[in-house]
Amino acid sequence: MSQHAKKAETFIANEARTDWHDASLWMVREKRDRASKSITEWEALRQMGSDIKDHVLANLDTYLVQFEENALQNGVQVHWAADAAEHNAIVQSILDKHQARRVVKSKSMLTEECHLNQHLEKNNIEVIDTDLGERIIQLLDEPPSHIVMPAIHLKKQEIGDLFHEKLGTEAGASDPQYLTEAARQHLRQKFQACDAAITGVNFAVAETGGVVVCTNEGNADMGVHLAPVQIHCMGIEKIIPRWQDLGVFTRLLARSATGQPITVFTSHYHRPEPGKAMHIILVDNGRSKQLGREKFRNSLKCIRCGACMNTCPIYRRSGGHSYGYTVPGPIGSILTPGIDLKKYSDLPFASTLCGSCSDVCPVKINIHEQLYWWRQEIAKENALPAAKRWSMRLAGWTLAKPSRYDRMGKLARWALRILPRFITYNQMNTWGKGRELPEIPKQSFKEWYTKNKS
Amino acid sequence: MEIALFIPCYVDQFYPQVGIATLELLEKLGCRVTYPAAQTCCGQPMANSGCEQDAVQTYRHFVKTFEGFDYIVVPSGSCAYHVRHHYDVLEQTEPVQRVREKVLDLSAFLLNVLEISKLDSSFPHRVGLHQSCHGLRGLRLGTGSERNMEEESKLNQLLEMVEDIELIELQRADECCGFGGTFAVAEPAISVKMGKDRIADHTRAGAEVITAGDMSCLMHLEGILRRQKSAVKVMHIAEILNGNSI
């Protein structure tokens, strides 16, 4: 059984919790439906978002250089990182230069992807995630299970227990208001004591050289305004050409992510405050390689809204941790094989190809088609389980010739009819674990037709 | 008009009554239908497992079997979707292009080609319609709940032509049933859980029968229903449109 299938089976073993997880995320999907249907131009907006992103990907080199030029003119220090290690080293060197030892971070999936926290902690730098969900999983020492709602897999009682242990809240308290207030007070101290602030980036505008960060908690602003040095870490695909394009994406992002018309805070950072420093790190970490893969290129259009996770019937019933990567769910399953095809070879198969992901995607990434195409790549690279490989070879041989197909069909039906249940429902029959096989007819349609019609 | 009937492999082997209902329905509507006996499968089982190269011979056989017809009608959105969308790996000769274009799911054929507006059938039962994904999102036989546009579901339109039928309303109108081809056996835990959840939605609304445009979804749901010893039945939409009884 694949890694994903095993983890999913463990997750589902607790059916009540699976139902709760599924219902929580379905509620977000329904909010998204209402928000997207409240504006008549929704489908046109998706097309526009998709077109802009396609254009950016086709001209990424030009826009990156333009962005850098404008950022430099604004007095921002710009760094380029080829991979995660280089990114982490750059962050480290900036912090060292400013003798920063206490860092506050607002949510950034890129720094999760680069495992920045672990790197900094190893070098005795305190790094505090200030997004509430991120802080919860940081205290638990767990990876996020969702890119927008990183602690969506946890119940409020569990968060109450965690806060009791780590933040000294009352034992057994699970009132969200109370717990949030405790987190707020705890984070306030961290903000006030910080030496540096790190944020992710939702959009970087080539025309202005500025970056835009969308949050609901205002934590990016808190950090940036209090710290003497601000660092913005972004994947190179976050570029949009013009200031006026931004509105297309802020409208798409919040509606798709949480069903809000817009995030509570849309923070624009263009230049350092007097006497302070501002850095932007542009990170590749495999993105250029993905850009070079024609069929998979447009996965880089992703604006990280998480809508494909919320709609995915598999994600909702297996949880984000079943995917084993920072970005889980459908979009993660088309990004990961490009990073390590063998390691993540099970993920494109963790889907029924139902296509709901592609239809909720605000920038129209054809996720389900790419899942199908990655499956072909994985088979070509001999990364399929042997049993699947050989059974498909046999199926292909059988179905290519009517005489073979007719004979095999008849034989299979005969065997299924006469064999005792303990043989047909053996351990190998994973269909039969939770389902009955069809009642086997004596006659196929073809046999019926030959006898009665021809 | 030369119409060929394509009966998907698993329907041929396990659900001959669905093939018979499709044929009877088309003949009742005045079509002269040929069933080419050399047919096997569209090749989707291999291709969806990543083994497109093992499917190519089956694709070629499919094209050879069906190339001479004006329409190829199949009671499956999934198989029609596969031929139309994934036969792009073949060299696009004239017969390949023609077959891809002329393969139609039964509901699309009835509404777009025959343009029927009434049916002579009655089905006095509470029916839940499962929107099979490849038909809904692949062939756009209706508008998925994700999209902000109005386009009536072809399957709904057809069922509304059946007298005395009572269509129930689901809480989740078009969530996947969890079959997914080899997904059903590769990820059995999730597959079965998804099926159970779909069934619960239908039974909550009081469905006596669950119907769909794809028998594969129904084979999966039926397997769970029978394991649960439920009284709820599954029937392919062709059986209901043809006026079959439960």
pLDDT in tens, chain B (246 residues): 899 999 999 999 999 999 999 999 999 999 999 999 999 999 999 999 999 999 999 999 999 999 999 999 999 999 999 999 999 999 999 999 999 999 999 999 999 999 999 999 999 999 999 999 999 999 999 999 999 998 889 999 999 999 999 999 999 999 999 999 999 999 999 999 999 999 999 999 999 999 999 999 999 999 999 999 999 999 999 999 999 999
Query: Nearest CA to CA, how far is A22 from chain B (Å)?
Result: 10
pTM of the model: 0.97
pLDDT reported for residue A453: 87
B61, B55 Cβ separation under 8 angstroms: no
Q: How far is CA B204 from CA A317, B126, B194, in A?
A: 20, 12, 15
Interface of B with A in 2-41 (CB under 8 A): 7, 9, 11-20, 23, 35, 37-41
**Chosen from A28, A305, A399, A428 to mutate, greatest number of chain B CBs within 10 A:** A399
pLDDT reported for residue A454: 75
The contacts of residue A71 (CB under 8 Å, 6+ apart) are: A78, A209, A210, A280
Taking only Cα atoms into account, the Rg of chain A, rounded to an integer number of angstroms, comes to: 25
Nearest by CB to A43, which of B18, B86, B148?
Answer: B148
Name the nearest CA neighbour of B25 among B131, B96, B107, B84: B107
Check CB contact of A318 with chain B, cutoff 8 Å. Answer: yes
How far, in Å, CA of B93 to CA of A211, rounded? 50
Sort out which chain B residues have CB atoms less than 8 A from A27's CB and list them.
Answer: none
Nearest by CB to B137, which of A356, A402, A444?
Answer: A356
| Token duo for residue A220 | 């990016």
How far, in Å, CA of A183 to CA of A170, rounded? 13
With an 8 Å Cβ cutoff, are B180 and A354 in contact?
A: yes
3-state DSSP call for residue B238? Answer: helix
With an 8 Å Cβ cutoff, are A393 and B54 in contact?
A: yes
| Token duo for residue A281 | 């790190």
| Token duo for residue A345 | 């070879």
Check CB contact of B130 with chain A, cutoff 8 Å. Answer: no
How far, in Å, CA of A381 to CA of B53, rounded? 13
The shares of helix, strand and coil residues in chain A, as percent rounded to the nearest 5, are 55, 10, 35
The contacts of residue A67 (CB under 8 Å, 6+ apart) are: A204, A205, A206, A209, A239
Which residue bears the tokens 């030892």?
A: A101
| Token duo for residue B80 | 């029609």
Would residue A142 be called left, alpha or beta, if left means φ above 0 and alpha means ψ between -120 and 50 degrees? Answer: beta
B218, B209 Cβ separation under 8 angstroms: no
- pLDDT mean across residues, chain A: 97
Q: How would DSSP label each residue in B65-112? A: HHTT-SEEEES-HHHHHHHHHHGGGS---HHHHHHHHHEEEHHHIIII
Q: Which residues of chain A register pLDDT less than 70?
A: none
Nearest by CB to A445, which of B16, B145, B195?
Answer: B16
How far, in Å, CA of B25 to CA of B11, rounded? 16
Element (H, E) at A445: helix A445-452
With an 8 Å Cβ cutoff, are A444 and B13 in contact?
A: yes
The contacts of residue A320 (CB under 8 Å, 6+ apart) are: A144, A145, A146, A152, A153, A309, A328, A329
Taking only Cα atoms into account, the Rg of chain B, rounded to an integer number of angstroms, comes to: 17
- DSSP designation for B168: P
Check CB contact of A275 with chain B, cutoff 8 Å. Answer: no
Check CB contact of B208 with chain A, cutoff 8 Å. Answer: no
**Chosen from B148, B215, B232 to mutate, greatest number of chain A CBs within 10 A:** B148
pLDDT reported for residue A435: 97
How far, in Å, CA of A260 to CA of B26, rounded? 49
Strands A203-205 and A210-215: antiparallel
Closest residue in B to A379 (Cα) is B50
Interface of A with B in 394-423 (CB under 8 A): 395-397, 399-402, 405, 409, 412-413
Q: What is the largest CA-CA distance in chain A?
A: 91
pLDDT reported for residue B212: 98
Q: How many helices (H) and strands (E) does chain B have?
A: 13, 8
pLDDT reported for residue B150: 84
Interface of A with B in 161-200 (CB under 8 A): none
Nearest by CB to B186, which of A2, A359, A433?
Answer: A2
**Chosen from A353, A372, A425 to mutate, greatest number of chain B CBs within 10 A:** A353
Count other C-beta atoms under 10 Å from residue A102's C-beta: 16
pLDDT reported for residue A93: 98
Name the nearest CA neighbour of B134 among B39, B186, B212, B187: B212
pLDDT reported for residue B162: 98
| Token duo for residue A78 | 């710009």
Interface size, chain A vs chain B, as Cβ–Cβ contacts under 8 Å: 233
Strands B71-74 and B103-105: parallel
